[in-house]
Structure 1
């Protein structure tokens, strides 16, 4: 009888990426697979689009907030309903193991798994665990972290640093194919700019304010997020995309430098591909500050430069880009010495050994 793995995680693309990297490998090994997410979350869209044959179960999930909201009084009831929903899915699908990538939808699933006696593995992407994963930790069998620093904040007897699980297709890119798709050439370095799954208004503005200056030194691939393309910018050597799907490995293969937010999955992908990066993390006003800590860790290890959003001006932006360009060799040398992360095969073996 084939084994069954149940994946959960959602709320942002970052809480789904590792799952989408692992799913094809488990399929190849003949496992049955199901997914629990929230009905309205981005995970429903991503999973049903990429894996239409995999059963997706939408459950109730309250949002966990660190700030005052009247919904904080009603959402605990949604979480409790989510636990009952998840328990019903677990009893129906009878998984051998549950893999959780975090996000608030995962909390009721992990709680239900404990009630049902199913082993749970959690993967934490950021330097400090998110609120959802903090709540889930007592119910987890094993916790995998991306950053070595995170291990100190979690129960020692069940925590391991695995690094970031990178999608295998990212290593299949062909720089010649990237240049064919864009019409770009070898003589001028290529700069890729991306602002996360939602785009980043301030980064987009900084790029466009400095476009003439940037184009003197670079050919540019600008992934600016849904609805953020500016048709008035038609300069030679500047291409805008809302997002890039299947061809992303080719675009990354030809890229020399990256400017990005500091979401954990993305920056570890750039690290694995040895791309010097300028990180502009989400500000503390817009987040819990996890991206700032991610960026600090990469700066400390000599993989990246950081520019905080509050300090972002057209002038500071150009200064950092020039610094990035002049230190390319040092960044690549440091990245080559980085500790090796778990491969998808390694993670598969860990989860198989945990499965009941």
Structure 2
């Protein structure tokens, strides 16, 4: 057992990697050697390798866990078993004193291997209800941290606790001047930022295009359309700029944004809440996900933090109507947002996480 080594896992979507990205620098600053286990070709591989090129990344096999019938349900358990064996080999070589899992299917073999190796596991669940991977992995974890207090009711309560959202401090360091340089916009004019998450948002992108003339008449629009979705025919449109994907630029773009239109991944919406940005949330439908974003969005609607438009009801007309509703209710939404509970920083979460180290 190497007390100076900690292993992280999580993948499948950017939301299953972002917290890991936030705490890696904190752990490195404390003198820990960090290793990462992810899939061969998931988004986590590029996010970790691109942002932390010197950090050892170990790829393993993983199978998707499904609640519905599929012939792959017969083959994927063998992938999970093989991935567990691969993870065991990594753990034996690396000998970490702690495994931290952010969830996603790739984390299940890692958590199983850690349990077999008698290495403590800590899990973080950011959605209102836990995903299937975390439900399974939670049985083998030392502790499960949640964002929502309600989530604890779905988990073994004796080892689960709600700690609120973990927000990256750099989001508060945005510069209006840098944003103006990036966009060519005027920071004093009302601006909408639109984003669809790492899984893309074709319907949102289409709604923006269909309403672009009306939107740009009254607002500046920053459109994060997703990789491969840049529409070159819209380049040069007044009061409109599109990016496929941003990383370091995001704090600056959010700085000048008066409104956010987004999917309803837990990490992102809590960041917008902390920044006090009125939101129009268009969650992934239950046909495209397990329904976690719908629950997240409806919770924010119930609390008064956001306006919600279900994807099934998304048309050019309902979209512009929802934007109008968002603008009209801006002050009321921000008043509610200011009453929200405070979040934790990655540094505070790291201190909490390390208490479980062996």
Residue deviations 1:177-232, cap 9 Å, x none?
21232111144201000011132110011111111111122100000011111111
Q: Give the unaligned 5+ runs of structure 2.
A: none
In the other structure, the counterpart of 1:224 is: 225
Q: In the aligned structure 2, how far is the partner of 1:110 from the partner of 1:330?
A: 43
Alignment match, 1:288: 290
Distance 1:212 1:314 in 2: 12
TM-score, normalised by the number of residues in structure 1? 0.97
Q: Distance in 2 between matches of 1:280 and 1:128?
A: 18
Instruction: Measure, in 2, the Cα distance between the counterparts of 1:248 and 1:36.
Output: 27
* Residue 175 (structure 1) aligns with: 176
Q: Deviations over 1:5-38 (max 9, x none)?
A: 1000011111101100110111111111000011
Structure 1: gaps (5+ residues):
none
Q: Does 1:146 align with 2:147?
A: yes
- 1:198–1:226 Cα contact (<8 Å) kept: no
Is residue 240 of structure 2 the alignment partner of residue 235 of structure 1? no
- 1:257-303, Cα deviation, whole Å (9 max, x unpaired): 00001111111111111111000001111111110000011111111
User: Is 131-140 or 227-236 further displaced after alignment?
Assistant: 227-236
Q: Determine if contact 1:21/1:168 at 8 Å carries over to the other structure.
A: no
Name the structure 2 match of 1:328. Answer: 330
Aligned-partner SS, 1:121:
strand
CA distance in 2, matches of 1:313, 1:181: 30
Q: Is the contact between residue 3 and residue 97 of structure 2 (CA under 8 Å) also seen in structure 1?
A: no
Deviations 1:29-71 (A, max 9, x none): 1111000011111111110110011100011111112222222
2:38 is paired with a residue whose SS is: strand
What is the Cα deviation at residue 4 of structure 1? 1.4
Distance of 1:107 and 1:11 partners within structure 2: 12
* Partners of 1:165 and 1:343 within 8 A in 2: yes
Q: Give the C-alpha shift of residue 78 in structure 1.
A: 1.1
| Per-residue deviation, residues 74-117 of structure 1 (Å, max 9, x unmatched) | 11111111111111111111111111000000001111111111
Asked if the contact 1:188/1:217 (under 8 Å) is kept, the reply is no
Match of 2:107 in 1: 106
Whole-angstrom CA distance in 2 between matches of 1:295 and 1:61: 29
- Tell me the secondary structure at the aligned position of residue 84 of structure 1: helix
Matched, 1:204 2:205: yes
CA shift, 1:2, in A, is 5.9
Moved over 3 A (4+): none
Superposition CA RMSD, Å: 1.2
Instruction: Describe the SS at the equivalent of 1:33.
Output: strand
Aligned to 2:137: 136
Name the structure 1 match of 2:85: 84
Aligned partners of 1:192 and 1:259 also within 8 Å: yes
Q: Distance in 2 between matches of 1:226 and 1:167?
A: 23
Which has the higher mean CA deviation after the structures are superposed, 226-235 or 179-188? Answer: 179-188
Q: Count residues with an aligned counterpart.
A: 356
Matches within 5 A, 1:44-63: 44-63=45-64
- Separation in 2 of the partners of 1:135 and 1:186? 47
Aligned to 2:30: 29
Q: List aligned pairs for 1:297-316, cutoff 5 A.
A: 297-316=299-318
